[in-house]
Structure 1
Amino acid sequence: MVSIRNKALQYLGRRDHSRQELAQKLAIAYPESSAEEINAVLDDFIERGWQSDARFAEQWVYFRSQRYGQQRLRHELQEKGVNSELIADALLQAIDNEIDTARQVWQKKFKAAPIDHQARGKQLRYLASRGFSLNVIYQVVGEADEFDGYNDDIDSI
């Protein structure tokens, strides 16, 4: 039990973990331990404030929202076992700057508006793979199209 506790502290010393993620790591590190022993350690950590799914979700969103959209962040947090209410609360901070983030990600990758339908599709798919919503994607790529006159060319066809 002491070694489980020490290992959990070691994991949390590196970065915050969700309860599920920490339980999985401890179960792998100590296969002879029962789930009750691991849960007892985790319950103690939560009671002391050493582990918090809410804090983990906020930090996850803060650091990863610079490169990814809300859909991807939501999916990643769900995979890590974070409660959907905590996810929604954490994502509130990323709502305001999602368009700016998508614009920065797009500019870093492409630097120019699409020249044809194939290039436009590639740009749309790239932003979608980063977890941005369709509204945000169309807004970012649409701004680039308007800036370079791409929409004018399409309308004249």
Structure 2
Amino acid sequence: MAKPRISLKSRALRYLSMREHSRLELGRKLQRYAEDGDDVDALLDWLEGEKFLSQTRFSESLIHRRAARFGNNRIVSELQSHGIAGEALTGLKQKLQIDELARARDVWQRKFGKPAADSAERGKQMRFMQQRGFSGRAIQAAMRTRPDEDDFPTSFDDN
């Protein structure tokens, strides 16, 4: 006996019940199961209209999951790969910028915990932080600051 075919709508709701998805990501997943006569774009429009699918919720969810481990550059790149662009992306960048230094310091502290003994170790630490997507200014500030210093800035100006 053959398995009953799961409708695209049911499949989409199952995906969305597990976690937030971007429109682009969900469209790709559903396209694999679409048959003749299935309109994936119309389903995605319906999901957005009924508030099951939201780019804003997806963006906030992704930032929440990634912020403790990654820098702004990496998070913004991931958002762009999911189809987030324009004013929404600009607003998210500004929101991320506020605490990048503190996040860089936390990541550096968890991974290394102490200043580099030589230039080779310093380079290793800097490369690690760059791969995590932190800006050069945030990396330098995180590596320069000791955890017991109270005057650590929580943000910086790009002037």
Determine whether 1:79 maps to 2:81: yes
Aligned to 2:67: 65
Determine whether 1:21 maps to 2:30: no
| 1:80 partner letter | H
SS class of match (1:112):
coil
- Report the count of equivalent residues: 143
Higher relative helix content: 1
Q: Displacement, 1:58?
A: 1.4
Aligned to 2:46: 44
| 1:62 partner letter | H
2: distance between equivalents of 1:32 and 1:122?
Answer: 50
| 2:21 partner letter | H
2: distance between equivalents of 1:90 and 1:9?
Answer: 26
Q: Displacement, 1:33?
A: 4.7
Change in CA separation of 1:33 and 1:75 when aligned onto 2, cut-off 3 Å: farther
Determine whether 1:4 maps to 2:8: yes
Aligned to 1:138: 140
Aligned to 1:153: none
Aligned to 1:120: 122
* Sequence identity percentage: 35
TM-superposition CA deviations, 1:8-40 (whole Å, max 9, x none)? 000000011000000001012x14356x70000
Aligned to 1:107: 109
Q: Displacement, 1:54?
A: 1.5
Determine whether 1:32 maps to 2:35: yes
TM-score when normalising by structure 1 = 0.84
Q: Displacement, 1:97?
A: 1.6
Q: Displacement, 1:64?
A: 1.0
2: distance between equivalents of 1:127 and 1:74?
Answer: 16
TM-score when normalising by structure 2 = 0.83
Provide the alpha-carbon RMSD of the alignment.
Answer: 1.9
1: distance between equivalents of 2:34 and 2:57?
Answer: 28
2: distance between equivalents of 1:7 and 1:13?
Answer: 10
